Amino acid sequence: MRAENHMEQPLRLLVADDDEVDRLAVRRALLQAGMSAQLVEVKDGASALAALLEQPFDCVLLDFQMPGHTGLEVLRKARAALVETPIIMLTGQGDEHIAVELMKAGATDYLSKSALTAERLAHLLRQALRLHEAEQQHRTLAEVLPHTLWTSRPDGQLDYISRRGFESLGLPPGDITQWQRVIHPEDLPRLLERWQHSLGTGESFSVEVRIRHARDGYRWHLVRALPMRDAHGRVVRWFGTNVDIDDQRRAQERLSRLQAITAALSEAPTPRQVMDVLITQGVGVLDAQAGAVWLVSEDGQTLELASANSQARELARHFERIPLDASLAVVEAVRHDKLVTYADRQERDRRYPAIARTGLPIEASAVMSLRGSRGVMGALVVNFTQPRTLRPDEQDFFLALARQGAQALERARLYESAQQARAAAEASEAQLRSVLAERERMEATLQERDERLRAALWAGGTGTLRWDIRTGALEWDENLDQLFGLQPGRTVQRLEEFLALIHPEDRAEVERRCEACEREGADFEMDFRVKWLDGHVRWLSGKGKTFVDASGRPLYMTGACVDITVQKQQEAEARQLADFERQILGIVSHDLRNPLSVIRISASMLLAREGLDERQSKSLTRIISASDRATRLIRDLLDFSQARLGGGIPVERKKMDLFELVRGVVEEHAASHPEQEVELEQEGEGVGEWDGDRLAQVLGNLVGNALQHGTPGTPVRVRCQGLPGEVLLEVRNAGEPIEPSLLPQLFEPFRRGRHAGSGAGSVGLGLYITRQLVLAHGGGITVTSSEEGDTRFTVRLPRLAPPPIPNRAD
């Protein structure tokens, strides 16, 4: 090896140590080892650093402790000055911590003075020279490789970048410290994070980042770093490479774009949609401002603008039809079937003076012909409002886009022709054969759609089946295997096997409905349970459509099943909750009526006695009033329970005059509220069929509500109007308007007015029950409240009960 040959010649060594005895020990060890050396000896750190910077040495033996500059300081300054000479540190003691610091600072190795022997010193010198020679070979090789090579000290400080790196990255020659300036700002944090992780763990790493080149801007590189370790496993140097992968990245991106375009074109069935994809992709990927597709006319004499984005249509408003002999880029591309580009306005005006005369704000363009199987059918055009030169990879993309676009456009035209043929097939048998031939050509598209349908069924957890009624054979997919708890591959092929998987309690009904499908051609629709082999029971919802022949004989049924176990559980929980709520409300409401009746009767009997003083009379009156309010609350709760849990409040209709009922309710409220005026206006006829007690409750709630919330001293107005087929009731009061946000919730249960107070005697069910009673009569109720303080409740009541909705037969 070269290092061994080098040891046969006198070594030029620098020995830096302030102790004469230690220097003498080094000389003796060299003599004992039989190594010939020219020694340059210095006694302090400053002299050692000066000698390193001025003279070449094969190796340096540097004392750790010296006056002026310590050995560690000399080492760091020498490495910062890019001195590559191997440096072996001499330490007074074998401290592991000191050794780690020395190796991080760039020491080739270290030797404890107490362990200084001829064999040890010779071994370290040979190893240091081998390492140095390997590094020199590495750096020589780096200058001929097409990659950038670099090395760093154990602490991550770069001490070498190959010449190719300086030239391609535009770094100042020899100035390694500027390397971070060429990394893309978005990628630098990620690179530094990975680098710091490797420095801390000693692990190699690789990462892709963008690096700025002196001529080509940012390009993608694969940066790799590999540690070199000594016999103790410590990292003594990092070796790294920067490999330019920009072309591969661009090729991958171009392939991804083309794949996306292929997918988009495959989903564009019409020529218009195909051209929209071409324009969108061309404008988007190339950062163009306008895009258009021109197609050759049927007579082959002109180009016609077929599709364009808004910017291109504005630019081409004077060029919607272009003769094929015009001197324009789009004509040149179509006539010569090639890519035509110009990079700036000067080139455009020189080559195409006709555009220069129009004054269009187009600086650059790219035009590519669209060639189909029968020749050029048109061209794809993208325009730029700034000077633009397409890179080779952009040109390749544009060519591929035009190629695929032409094929897709031709397919779309064929598809449109097939659609027209299919429509014409309804008129003649010959046209039907043409449609069938077209459908065969579309087999690939139909297969793709079938695969999409399968994916949708799988995503929705839906299984499908086909039952051949004539043979009894069953075909179903793997989704049904899962729904029925079957292992993959163990599918069902006969109706009997299907029925065996049904829960015993549902099997008879399922079998009966299957017989109806087989006998009558009925459709199948039923929720049923299946029992898995492991004992689990699941609910399924099954639906099937039975198809018959011309004579009405059932042929086959196609169906689907979906798991509704969770829905059934939720419904059961909801029913349990509703039953519990109904029981609680019923028990509370009914059980409270009896004691309240006893309280009221007892209070009334006591009030009828003679000899009561005024205080006793008032107390008994309050007891009676409170029991009446409680009775009304119970009635509201019972009505609420009936409305929410019993399907609505029942009404008993009888023929009556609604106007008389309204007059009686108004007079009753006017008598109980002498301090406030209640006005009544009636118009027309009030005869109809209603539940008088319930409508008295409706009107009483509305009038009482108006008296409670109306402004004192202002009248409450009640208006009745008889209309053909219905009667209109209106209750108005003046007062603070209802907030608009509260109006939609006003008829909800347990909603009380903002100023209801604790003595209102209501739990917020009055308006809810009022609405339910109106709905039970087939009517409707609305409320409005203006900013002027006019609040109006309007009730519409049909004179007769609406006809019942007929039940649909099962």
pLDDT tens per residue across span 382-412? 999 899 888 888 888 889 888 988 888 888 8
Q: Which residues contact 558 (CB under 8 A, 6 or more apart)?
A: 464, 465, 466, 467, 544, 545, 547
| 281 compared with 427, residue with greater pLDDT | 281
| Chain-centre distance for alpha carbon 749 | 39
User: In 508-664, which ranges are E strands?
Assistant: 524-531, 537-548, 554-563, 654-657
In 3D space, the residue among 699, 709, 698 whose CA is nearest the CA of residue 791 turns out to be 709
Q: What angle do CA 593, 594, 595 make, to 5 degrees?
A: 100
Tell me: pLDDT of 438 over 90.
no
307 and 276 Cβ atoms separated by less than 8 Å: yes
What confidence tier does 5 reach under pLDDT thresholds 50, 70, 90? very low
pLDDT value of position 693: 82
Burial profile 582-604: b = 16 or more Cβ within 10 angstroms, e = fewer: eeebbeebeeeeeebeebbeebe
pLDDT value of position 465: 87
What confidence tier does 550 reach under pLDDT thresholds 50, 70, 90? confident
pLDDT value of position 453: 67
pLDDT value of position 685: 92
Least confident of 275-284, 516-525, 587-596, 765-774: 587-596
160 and 143 Cβ atoms separated by less than 8 Å: no
What confidence tier does 810 reach under pLDDT thresholds 50, 70, 90? very low
Least confident of 36-40, 132-136, 470-474, 475-479: 132-136
- Strand-pair category, 462-468 with 474-476: antiparallel
User: In 385-505, which ranges are E strands?
Assistant: 462-468, 474-476
The residues with which 465 forms a beta bridge, in sequence order, are 476, 559
| 80 compared with 312, residue with greater pLDDT | 312
Work out the number of other CB atoms within 10 angstroms of the CB of residue 452.
10
Work out the number of other CB atoms within 10 angstroms of the CB of residue 125.
28
Distance between CA 478 and CA 491 in Å, rounded? 8
Distance between CA 576 and CA 598 in Å, rounded? 34
Distance between CA 641 and CA 649 in Å, rounded? 9
716 and 678 Cβ atoms separated by less than 8 Å: yes
pLDDT value of position 630: 63
Let me know if 766 is exposed, middle or buried by CB neighbors in 10 A (0-12, 13-18, 19+): buried
| Mean pLDDT of all residues belonging to the chain | 81
Tell me: pLDDT of 603 over 80.
no
Q: What is each CA distance from 691 to 135, 645, 660, 780, 795, in whole angstroms?
A: 107, 21, 13, 15, 15
Helix pair angle (392-425, 246-266), 10° resolution: 10
Rg of the chain's alpha carbons, rounded to an integer? Answer: 48
Mean pLDDT calculated for residue range 106-122: 82
What confidence tier does 4 reach under pLDDT thresholds 50, 70, 90? very low
| 635 compared with 238, residue with greater pLDDT | 238
Q: What is each CA distance from 800 to 80, 663, 698, 721, 807, in whole angstroms?
A: 104, 21, 18, 16, 21
The residues with which 228 forms a beta bridge, in sequence order, are 237
Distance between CA 690 and CA 678 in Å, rounded? 24
Tell me: pLDDT of 477 over 90.
no
pLDDT value of position 752: 56
Q: What angle do CA 469, 470, 471 make, to 5 degrees?
A: 95
**β-sheet with 11-16: strand ranges across:** 37-42, 11-16, 59-63, 87-91, 109-112
523 and 545 Cβ atoms separated by less than 8 Å: yes
Distance between CA 206 and CA 224 in Å, rounded? 4
Q: What is each CA distance from 739 to 704, 752, 768, 787, 789, in whole angstroms?
A: 20, 13, 18, 9, 11
pLDDT value of position 755: 47
Distance between CA 280 and CA 276 in Å, rounded? 6
In 3D space, the residue among 568, 558, 557 whose CA is nearest the CA of residue 530 turns out to be 568
Under DSSP, the state recorded for 387 is -
Q: Number of helices (H) and strands (E), helices first, in the chain?
A: 25, 28
Burial profile 204-236: b = 16 or more Cβ within 10 angstroms, e = fewer: ebebebbbebeeeebbbbbbebebeeeeeebbb
Tell me: pLDDT of 596 over 70.
no
Of 214-218, 289-293, 583-587, which has the strongest mean pLDDT?
289-293
pLDDT value of position 764: 65
Tell me: pLDDT of 261 over 90.
no
pLDDT value of position 655: 92
Q: What is each CA distance from 456 to 170, 376, 442, 486, 527, in whole angstroms?
A: 55, 40, 21, 21, 22
| 350 compared with 160, residue with greater pLDDT | 350
What percent of the chain clears pLDDT 90, i.e. is strictly above it? 17
**pTM reported for the whole predicted model:** 0.35
Distance between CA 764 and CA 226 in Å, rounded? 78
Q: What is the largest CA-CA distance in the chain?
A: 144
Helix (H) or strand (E) holding 784: strand 780-785
Work out the number of other CB atoms within 10 angstroms of the CB of residue 413.
15
3-class SS at 494?
strand
pLDDT value of position 629: 59
In 3D space, the residue among 282, 336, 275, 285 whose CA is nearest the CA of residue 308 turns out to be 275
Q: Where are the alpha helices (DSSP H) in 460-560?
A: 478-483, 495-500, 504-520
Q: How many CA atoms lie within 13 A of 411 on its CB side?
A: 19
What confidence tier does 656 reach under pLDDT thresholds 50, 70, 90? very high
557 and 495 Cβ atoms separated by less than 8 Å: no
The residues with which 792 forms a beta bridge, in sequence order, are 732, 784
Helix (H) or strand (E) holding 593: helix 565-608
Least confident of 257-261, 332-336, 643-647: 643-647
Distance between CA 792 and CA 782 in Å, rounded? 8
Token pair listed for 28 = 């003796």
Phi, psi of 716 (to 5 degrees): -100, 125
Mean pLDDT calculated for residue range 53-68: 87
